[in-house]
Structure 1
Amino acid sequence: MSDSGPVLPWLVIRQDDNGNRYRVGRYATQDEAQKIADSLDARGHKQLYLVERIGEPAL
């Protein structure tokens, strides 16, 4: 942990049918972020949930 707070490099992103992207949350580990994305995806909505690391180019 640094002076600016915990390091949370993993993002969960929601992408809608029009390609609009929204940050859902930031997480410490990829596994934690993936579990959140999977639980949101299991709700059956048409949005796509992605896990990305901060600083990596989006697909």
Structure 2
Amino acid sequence: MNDSTPTLPWHVIRQDDNGNRYRVGRYATRAEAEKVVAGLEERGHKQLYWVERLDRRAG
């Protein structure tokens, strides 16, 4: 990664009824990601959504 690459460490994850997980989006701040989760939950989706931080230093 170089200095001109945007850092989007906050991911919104969705888990369906079968336990499959999908990345919904990547965001620069936790607040942005949590706002997306709140919007999805507000619509009455019965899926599970949460925010995770991707740590590029790991691995």
**TM-score (norm: length of structure 1):** 0.83
Shift of 1:35: 0.3
Matches within 5 A, 1:18-29: 18-29=18-29
Separation (CA, whole Å) in 1 of partners of 2:20 and 2:28: 24
Q: Specify the SS of the correspondent of 1:25.
A: strand
Q: Specify the SS of the correspondent of 1:17.
A: coil
Overall identity of the aligned pairs, in % = 67
Q: Specify the SS of the correspondent of 1:40.
A: helix
The one-letter code of the counterpart of 1:10 is: W
Matches within 5 A, 1:1-59: 2-3=3-4, 5-55=5-55
Query: How many residues align structurally?
Result: 54
Runs of 4+ in structure 1 deviating by more than 2 angstroms, as ranges, are: none
Rg (Cα) greater in structure: 2
- In structure 1, the gaps of 5 or more residues are none
**TM-score (norm: length of structure 2):** 0.83
- In structure 2, the gaps of 5 or more residues are none
